[in-house]
Amino acid sequence: MLLDKIVGQDVVITSLKNSLRENRIHHAYLFHGVRGVGKATTAKYFAQCILCDTQDGCGMCKNCIAIANEGNPNLQIVETTSSIGINEIREIKKKTAIKQGEHTIWIILEAERMTIQAANSLLKILEEPPEGNIFLLVTDSPNRLLPTILSRCVSVPFKRLHEPELLGLLKAIIPQAKDDNEKCMVVARMANGSIGDAIELWDGPILQRRNLVVEKLLEVSRAPFARVLGFSIEWEEDRETVITDLAIMLKWFRDILILKTDSDLPLSNPDYENELRILSEKYSLESVIELIELLGELIPALRANARPRFILGYLLLKMKKGVMP
Ligand SMILES: [Zn+2]
């Protein structure tokens, strides 16, 4: 069955399969959870199963073939990179008035992009759903949707993937991943349960950025005070980059805390375990906790307009002071 292809969402898949088998399909669902865990793919597969002649998503019946060729009028996907406006919803309303087949399924991706007018207009449709129409709303920010919309939808919560699931998927999707177990581990840790994030991390600049920041942090522990001040002056001052850098530092010091306290929690930077062990000897427990708390305060401060250069200077000196002679 098509839905069995989804990895790591057993509860969701079982309940969707049950409703298909018992022919108990609701008229509105909200697929929600962090980004990159299979919500949109599941919505598309579920829609295909509803329309499929065998309800398996067989891939061979006329409905399945039409979906594969993106030409099934009974499956409509609303997808936009800007906002979803009232006109889009009015268009849906018009089309729901004309009965096409037994079911017409509307998938609204990134449903939180609906303007308030669009959301209110959709609410009216959901309150009196035209027969045969099924709405699958997909979002990673359900709190940005109207509570009245949420209450009209069956909630389908997606969870973060477990690390072995993430590793398996990563190796299935990216051919080179099979040969680089160490990078796989790091990416899986950093992706925190999201295959979408893992794929982005694999090719993207974040992993390189982490390496750069970590190398600086290692230097901080060795370099003299004057040099450490220099780091903050040389540091890139782009606010978003510095926020990312501080999040990397936070994970780094959490790793040091894990090693200092002999916790069995997994490290975020397992490829630097040796270096982390050496540092965990150099920092006192108090200074590690103090740095973690400080980072937790400085990230929101940066978001709220504090000067990146000032924050970095203060932080790096604190880090340097924390190193025991
Ligand atoms: Zn089929």
* Helix H or strand E encompassing 28: strand 28-32
**Span from the CA of 53 to the centroid of ligand 1 (angstroms):** 5
What's the pTM value of the predicted model, to 2 decimals? 0.73
Exposure pattern of 282-297 as b/e (b: 16+ CB <10 Å)? ebeeebbebbbebbee
**Span from the CA of 54 to the centroid of ligand 1 (angstroms):** 6
**Span from the CA of 62 to the centroid of ligand 1 (angstroms):** 7
**Span from the CA of 91 to the centroid of ligand 1 (angstroms):** 28
DSSP symbols for 146-203: -HHHHHHSEEEE--PPPHHHHHHHHHHH-GGGGG-HHHHHHHHHHHTT-HHHHHHHHH
**Span from the CA of 186 to the centroid of ligand 1 (angstroms):** 39
**Span from the CA of 100 to the centroid of ligand 1 (angstroms):** 18
Domain ranges of the chain: 2-157, 204-322
- pLDDT in the model for residue 187: 87
Q: Which residues of the chain have pLDDT under 70?
A: 100
**Span from the CA of 122 to the centroid of ligand 1 (angstroms):** 29
Long-range own/partner contacts, residues 206-210 (CB < 8 A, 24 or more apart) = 206/244, 207/183, 209/241, 209/244, 209/245, 209/248, 210/248, 210/269
**Span from the CA of 170 to the centroid of ligand 1 (angstroms):** 28
Return the residue matching tokens 């098509």: 2
- pLDDT in the model for residue 93: 92
Class of domain 204-322: mainly alpha
**Span from the CA of 169 to the centroid of ligand 1 (angstroms):** 25
**Span from the CA of 157 to the centroid of ligand 1 (angstroms):** 26
**Span from the CA of 175 to the centroid of ligand 1 (angstroms):** 30
- pLDDT in the model for residue 185: 86
- pLDDT in the model for residue 98: 79
- pLDDT in the model for residue 145: 95
- pLDDT in the model for residue 265: 86
**Span from the CA of 266 to the centroid of ligand 1 (angstroms):** 43
Q: How far is CA 104 from the centre of its chain?
A: 29
**Span from the CA of 29 to the centroid of ligand 1 (angstroms):** 22
- pLDDT in the model for residue 320: 93
**Span from the CA of 172 to the centroid of ligand 1 (angstroms):** 25
Distance of CA 214 to CAs 94, 271, 276, Å?
56, 11, 10
**Span from the CA of 63 to the centroid of ligand 1 (angstroms):** 6
- pLDDT in the model for residue 57: 95
- pLDDT in the model for residue 304: 87
- pLDDT in the model for residue 191: 85
- pLDDT in the model for residue 294: 95
**Span from the CA of 50 to the centroid of ligand 1 (angstroms):** 9
- pLDDT in the model for residue 65: 95
**Span from the CA of 177 to the centroid of ligand 1 (angstroms):** 33
* Helix H or strand E encompassing 279: helix 273-282
Three-state DSSP state, 215: helix
Question: 2-157: CATH homologous superfamily?
Answer: P-loop containing nucleotide triphosphate hydrolases (3.40.50.300)
- pLDDT in the model for residue 308: 93
- pLDDT in the model for residue 97: 82
